[in-house]
């Protein structure tokens, strides 16, 4: 009964700050039997208001390709929203509404979460069921989730609180009514084995989301390091087919003029095998290894060239704005 009461109290505290995010995307032209048609895709997700100034945290994938954004508050009222900034590598975005907001949620400390702890997910399930509440536990911490885009979402909270399409961007809440995560993804099964899974939801921990959202509000973006190479990933299959001595790495096929790579000893044809102290592997992608360093930092790059393992020092730059 105590836990049930705590859940009710936590939901009452956070629910008014949860919004549905409506994304009308840029028009696309498609070829049909009757000729070229223009369609304007629409999608929806969730978000949570984090300041009285109207800033709302959601997922990058909820707002990407936006043309116009709108939010629906918990009481059903609507308001236009503008895009502030996003970081694809942590699937985090911030949008903003003008005027008074109905409520503001508070970030909690995700670093003190423990497996088995009760958590609550709130969001617009399937886009139609606004402010749906589900309850579960923290199943695990520090999970890594493959994005399918050459990098992993790291440090994720795994939970069995039901998360459905449309819940993305909504808060994961502790029993104190604090936001400890931003719900991001579900895994329904293993495509390789065909196994079907239930209760595998993942959330960005508040320790990451709060830091990134603060950067986005301040600067409009998250500063990520740039090496300045065009590359192809080396996997065990690629390595085996080409007789390479490593299983994982990054084959450089071009270097951007004026970039940190151009100012180092790296050359097209080199294969990067490590960045700093981290070796590129099945668990650590090139992008994740690079993103663990900061702009302006001097980093040792280990690479393979003509049968020799060499190193070079680079000072990482930021992405052009």
Give the active site residues: 61, 91, 168
Nearest to 19 by CA among 202, 207, 166, 160: 166
Q: Which two tokens stand for residue 261?
A: 């790579």
> CA-to-CA distance for 165 and 177, rounded, in angstroms?
23
CA of 107: how far to CAs of 101, 124, 287, 300, in Å? 17, 20, 28, 36
Q: How many residues does the chain have?
A: 321
Q: Residues 254, 291: contact at Cβ < 8 Å?
A: no
> Cα(237)–Cα(48) distance, rounded to whole angstroms?
43
- Given a contact cutoff of 8 angstroms between Cβ atoms, the answer to whether 152 and 143 are in contact is no
């Amino acid at each position: 009964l105590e836990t049930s009461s705590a859940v009710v109290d936590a939901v009452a505290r956070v629910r008014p700050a949860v919004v549905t995010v409506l994304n009308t995307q840029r028009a696309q032209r498609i070829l049909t039997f009757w000729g070229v048609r223009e369609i304007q895709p629409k999608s929806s997700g969730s978000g949570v208001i984090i300041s009285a100034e109207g800033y709302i945290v959601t997922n990058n994938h909820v707002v990407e390709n936006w043309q116009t954004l709108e939010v629906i508050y918990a009481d059903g009222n609507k308001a236009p929203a503008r895009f502030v900034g996003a970081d694809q590598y942590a699937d985090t975005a911030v949008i903003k509404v003008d005027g008074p907001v109905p409520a503001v949620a508070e970030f909690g400390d995700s670093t003190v979460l423990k497996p088995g702890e009760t958590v609550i997910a709130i969001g617009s399930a399937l886009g139609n069921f606004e402010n749906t509440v589900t309850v579960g536990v923290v199943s695990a911490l520090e999970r890594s989730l493959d994005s399918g885009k050459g990098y992993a979402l790291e440090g994720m909270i795994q939970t069995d609180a039901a998360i459905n399409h449309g819940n993305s961007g909504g808060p994961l809440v502790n029993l104190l009514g604090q936001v400890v995560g931003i719900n991001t993804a579900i895994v329904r099964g293993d495509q390789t084995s065909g196994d079907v899974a239930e209760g595998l939801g993942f959330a960005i921990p508040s320790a990451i989301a709060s830091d990134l959202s603060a950067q986005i509000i301040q600067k409009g973006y998250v500063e990520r390091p740039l090496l300045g190479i065009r590359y192809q990933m080396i996997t065990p299959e690629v390595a085996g087919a080409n007789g390479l001595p490593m299983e994982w790495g990054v084959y450089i096929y071009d270097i951007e003029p004026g970039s940190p790579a151009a100012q180092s000893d790296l050359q097209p044809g080199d294969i990067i095998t490590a960045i700093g102290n981290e070796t590129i592997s099945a668990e650590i992608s090139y992008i994740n290894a690079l993103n663990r360093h900061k702009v302006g930092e001097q980093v040792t790059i280990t690479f393979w060239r003509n049968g020799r393992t060499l190193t070079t020092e680079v000072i990482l730059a930021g992405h052009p704005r």
